[in-house]
Amino acid sequence: PSPDLKGAFRFETSYYPKHYLAFQPPTHLQIVSAMPQKIGNVGAVIDFMLVDYASMYKYMTLEEVLVPAVRGLGSGGDATGCAFVSLAALREEPTVRVYFLSTLRKSVWSLEDFEAYFDGHYQQWDY
């Protein structure tokens, strides 16, 4: 258990006392021998909360839902392996529907809402 955060866990290595698992956002995971210091403006995380897999949608971003859905629907397209996907097909994709219902607690966006979202995120999406 973590001494600093109620309900969290701090993972110490078996063979090296006072060496802990640390996560440095956004993607770096390592074992540290001392309490991690800030690197840049983001501190490393050594206390972890275990959550039920069924509640994972609460912690996902819309991008984490849309990217795999679009890749799955658009596979087999051009030389890059991707094809354009209709908004109607994206709105009907099961993981998208579950995300909207369980996380946002609302129905899936209308076509106009998706258009506005994709226009606003033109660096990521070719709409």
**Torsion, CA 47, CA 50, CA 55, CA 58, rounded to 10:** 0
* Ranges 53-62, 82-91, 104-113: which has the least confidence: 53-62
Can you read off the two tokens belonging to residue 125? 């999406």
- Tell whether pTM > 0.75: no
- pLDDT for residue 82: 63
Residue 97 pLDDT exceeds 90: yes
* Dist. CA 87–CA 102, nearest whole Å: 20
Distance CA(124)–CA(42), nearest Å, equals 24
Maximum CA extent, the chain: 57
Q: What are residue 10's DSSP bridge partners?
A: 47
